[in-house]
Every structure is written in C-alpha cells, then in structure tokens.
C-alpha cells in the first residue's frame, strides 16, 4: 500500500510539473482530439453563428481603436480561446478523415 501511494505521489508531481509548462494549445489539444474522434465530419463542418462572428468583429474593432472595456476584453479573450479550441478540433477531425 505504501509503495502504491509513493508511486501515485510521484505520478501526481510529474503531472503537476507537466501542467505548469503546458501551453494552452497543448492543454486544448488532447481534448480537441477526443472530440474530433466522436464525429469528425460534424466537427470539421462547424461554423460560428453569424451573430457570434459579428460580435467578435466588433470586439476586435473596439480593441484596435483602443476603446474596449475590461469586460469586453475578457469576452474577446474567451472567444479567442474558443476559436483556438475549435480550430484544433477541426484540424484533428480533418486528419482523421484523411486516413
């Protein structure tokens, strides 16, 4: 039992160190791969709703003009994170479909 606990502790320390050095792309990549495997055709065909695209365009414009609020900046960052995640999932889906 003690040996098992020591092994688990070492594994947890390793995972924590890995998480500390992991980039956002790496963190999203594993989950994106899992999602892409579920329904590659559907994932590859994903498109943002027009309303969402327009909102992102407006936020980017406000940022470029220097008139973006703190709340809008946070919203833009969430959209960009989501875009990164979906882009990774779509890339993985295309890879799966090419096999």
Q: For 87-97, what is each residue's pLDDT tens digit?
A: 999 999 999 99
pLDDT computed for residue 78 by the predictor: 95
CA distance 17 to 58: 38
Residue 67 lies in a domain: yes
Question: What predicted TM-score, i.e. pTM, was given to this entire model?
Answer: 0.69
Residue 60 lies in a domain: yes
Residue 43 lies in a domain: yes
User: Which domain, by its residues, includes 53?
Assistant: 24-98
Residue 11 lies in a domain: no
Residue 12 lies in a domain: no
Write out pLDDT tens, residues 11-63. Answer: 556 655 655 666 767 778 888 888 989 999 999 999 999 999 999 999 999 99
Number of separate domains in the chain: 1
Instruction: Specify the DSSP element, H or E, that contains 14.
Output: helix 2-21
**DSSP string for residues in 60-91:** HHHHHHT---HHHHHHHHHHHHHHHHHHHHHH
CA distance 36 to 88: 9
Can you tell me the mean pLDDT for 77-85? 93
Can you tell me the mean pLDDT for 66-83? 96
Dihedral angle, C-alpha 33, 85, 31, 75, nearest 10 °: -170
């Amino acid at each position: 039992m003690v040996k098992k606990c020591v092994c688990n502790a070492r594994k947890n320390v390793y995972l924590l160190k890995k998480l500390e050095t992991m980039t956002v792309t790496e963190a999203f990549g594993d989950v994106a791969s899992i999602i892409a495997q579920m329904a590659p055709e559907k994932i590859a065909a994903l498109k943002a709703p027009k309303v969402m695209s327009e909102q992102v365009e407006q936020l980017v414009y406000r940022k470029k003009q220097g008139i973006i609020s703190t709340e809008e900046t946070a919203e833009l960052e969430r959209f960009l994170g989501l875009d990164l995640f979906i882009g990774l999932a779509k890339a993985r889906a295309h890879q799966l479909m090419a096999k």
